[in-house]
Structure 1
């Protein structure tokens, strides 16, 4: 069997599951653009609804591939979209603030999770979601953590929790910037550094 034949057979085997993943992604994007709300949350809710497809022999290979390789590629592309010129435009002090905030939040979140009785993977997942970018970070981190029977439940709890907190912050934090008469730059740094999810940060910028 040639290399091309093996690749073709693998692609054929993964096609049904990948088609399902693409359908869920497009549906989530449509609902988010039409009615608002974070795309990732809609995607997870759809994923829960179609979870039974992960047990189907026809769709399982593609779903597994999408939940690992495709998701990891998406995170890489998301990071690649941030250029050094954009970082320099904000100022290196801001960049260092972001690094310090993410590192501190990750460490503190992990320790708080462990002290609260959470497992190490669950603590890492929760801390990463809060420290980095909410639901997107949670899904990316979950894809590389060891998979257990509690992994899906932990991911759902983390995403729902971080999305709820982000939404509350989106509504309330702009009032703080007005109260202290922050400049546009100061408001952007404050909102971006304290609100978990990118979508809610953008929403807060319009309030």
Structure 2
């Protein structure tokens, strides 16, 4: 605990700062603020030795364990009843957006020669649910924190851009308020970014956006399971044991979804779980952000930037098509 506490304390304090920033500027999602703060801290030369030294054990614990716990609690936000209320056309088109964006991004990432697990991590972030999905997929494929850093930076950048860009396109594209909410839910990455963007069109648009977005979040479980199965087939025995087909935290996520869908949980429990989930994810995403080195990203990450921006355009275009079909 002596080794873990300094890093955990710093990450938790940063999560609190991100929450205060959100209170001061509600348009800035807490998780986006946490990642951005981590990235800023990671660029300070005087702090880098501590981040890589005595703070590293606690930051690594936050980036892995707390992130997984946050994803489990994220399941309590989902209700299969609410998702079913969207109708089959909306559900199927939302699934299609996720699958096509995921496959297209992986293909582009491999074509441009992104190293290691970066193609699947970038695809997870843009297709499913932002930095949370990157952390979940990274845990499944056993990606290093350094591999996750670039995808987290990209999804944070593009998700923040979406908060400004999508509302500007709302009326030119001829979308109704609920159509705009559908587009935002299907095309923006992080749940907080979805809320920040869709709320501009009113409560009806926000309600549609959140349910569509949570439908995408539900796709985290099958996409992780499929990826884990592929990794098992590729794994070589001397390199270590096979990754589980369904990681334990993904099973916990599914259990939380089923619990919230079929058991009448008290509002105070759901509210408390939401606060804890946000705290865990903000702490974890600060830790991931602190591992990013922008100088290295500028010199070596142009291919990842091309993939990220292309994936952002792809998911927005597919989401717009889904709105038209719906």
Q: Same fold (TM over 0.5)?
A: yes
**8 Å CA contact 2:67, 2:132 repeated in 1:** no
Query: Of the candidates 74, 97, 121, which is equivalent to residue 93 of structure 2?
Result: 97
Structure 2 residue aligned with 1:31: 21
Structure 2 residue aligned with 1:112: 108
- In the TM superposition, residue 93 of structure 1 has moved relative to its aligned partner by 2.7
Shift of the 91–20 alpha-carbon distance from structure 1 to 2, 3 Å rule, reads same
3-state DSSP of counterpart to 2:175? coil
Q: Does 1:131 align with 2:121?
A: no
Structure 1 residue aligned with 2:175: 182
Q: Does 1:171 align with 2:164?
A: yes
Size of the aligned set, in residue pairs, is 193
Runs of at least 5 residues in structure 1 that lack an aligned partner in the other structure: 1-10
For the aligned residues, what is the CA RMSD? 2.7
**8 Å CA contact 1:174, 1:204 repeated in 2:** yes
**8 Å CA contact 2:121, 2:151 repeated in 1:** yes
Shift of the 51–34 alpha-carbon distance from structure 1 to 2, 3 Å rule, reads farther
The structure with higher relative contact order (CA 8 Å, sep 6+) is 2
Shift of the 164–21 alpha-carbon distance from structure 1 to 2, 3 Å rule, reads closer
Structure 2 residue aligned with 1:4: none
- In the TM superposition, residue 66 of structure 1 has moved relative to its aligned partner by 1.7
Structure 1 residue aligned with 2:265: none
Shift of the 85–13 alpha-carbon distance from structure 1 to 2, 3 Å rule, reads same
Structure 1 residue aligned with 2:81: 85
3-state DSSP of counterpart to 2:192? helix
Structure 2 residue aligned with 1:3: none
**8 Å CA contact 2:117, 2:143 repeated in 1:** no
Task: Provide the rounded CA distance (Å) in 2 between the counterparts of 1:155 and 1:184.
Answer: 35
Structure 1 residue aligned with 2:12: 22
- In the TM superposition, residue 143 of structure 1 has moved relative to its aligned partner by 4.1
